[in-house]
Amino acid sequence: MTIDAFIDRLPKVELHVHLVGSASVPTVLELSLRHPGSGVPSTEEELRQFYTFRDFPHFAEVYRAVNSLVREPEDVASLVTGLARDLSPQNCRYVELQVTPYAHWMQGLPMRAVTEALDLAARRSLDEYGVEMAYIFDIPGEFGAEAAAITLDHALKEPPAALVGFGIGGIEQARPAYREAFREAFSAARAAGLHSVPHGGEMSGPETVWEVIEGYGAERIGHGINCLDDPRLVSYLRETQLPLDVCPTSNVCTGQVGRIEDHPLPRLLEEGLFVTLNSDDPPMFATTLEREYRVAATVFGLGESELAALAGNAVRASYMSEERKRELLAEIDALR
């Protein structure tokens, strides 16, 4: 079996992908034409140029512009089922999709309407594409205490049935100004039974990773690649096996890593850290979950055993049922 054939057959789990960032180019063009005046290009060539990012703040600006196109509950549902449609041919079985309720609140969408759209889309994703959909509610950190309060309110009062986690993303350097608000929001979310899955160490240093561990009770960390700058943190992550959801192509496209060849994925593995492989915002970065596995093979030289281990890590780090985990792990082991 070739490595490409092995990757095709490998059952996959996507743990780090964003709702708006998962919108395919045709979907964005359709929404842009439907909602003119948003600042988002309405031709494919212009949109691909629009997706060329100078740095992370520019990426965040583009992301917010695309999010402004999501104005109706039907738009939310279409994005979810569109992601399931894209992931199904990649042999992806389960997704934990990051949703930002504050962004939909800013567009005037009622919490109940968003939740109904997410519930409907989860059922359709499984029925039509065989992809099980779970949700993580995500605070956009640069919007501060208000965003934390709105996100928590939605999670506690009007949660979709498949809500499993509570997170935070956005510009990490903005977080210290709202430290207590974010800590309190995560404390309340965990008390309600939600898993803590914040971003950390993507565009800032180890101090942000320590903060999400100590202040947010992180059970899994989005990105975390800058942990390598702190030997004590690396030792802690190795000992606890706290999972890191790593997104190599994303880190290059947002300017966090200069070249894909310089990505720290190999060193993270060499250090014995618990790593999963993910796509983050695939159409914006011209990637897919399957392509991230191909990059791991062709750029970093990972073989079948290492790729299967990454796929197994994603299953173990997920919040799917234990029975479903056993089934998928058995499938993965059968390919070794």
> Rounded distance, CA 223 to CA 229, Å?
14
**61 is a catalytic site residue:** no
Catalytic residue of the set 96, 202, 211, 292:
202
Determine contact, residues 96/136, Cβ cutoff 8 Å.
Answer: yes
| DSSP state string for 258-306 | S-GGG-SHHHHHHTT--EEE--BSGGGGT--HHHHHHHHHHTT---HHH
Tokens 């977080």 locate to 175
> Residue 222's beta-bridge partner residues?
199, 245
> Rounded distance, CA 236 to CA 214, Å?
12
CA distances from 130 to 4, 84, 90, 191 (A): 22, 8, 12, 32
Phi–psi pair at 110, nearest 5 degrees = -65, 150
> Rounded distance, CA 62 to CA 56, Å?
10
Give catalytic residue positions. Answer: 202
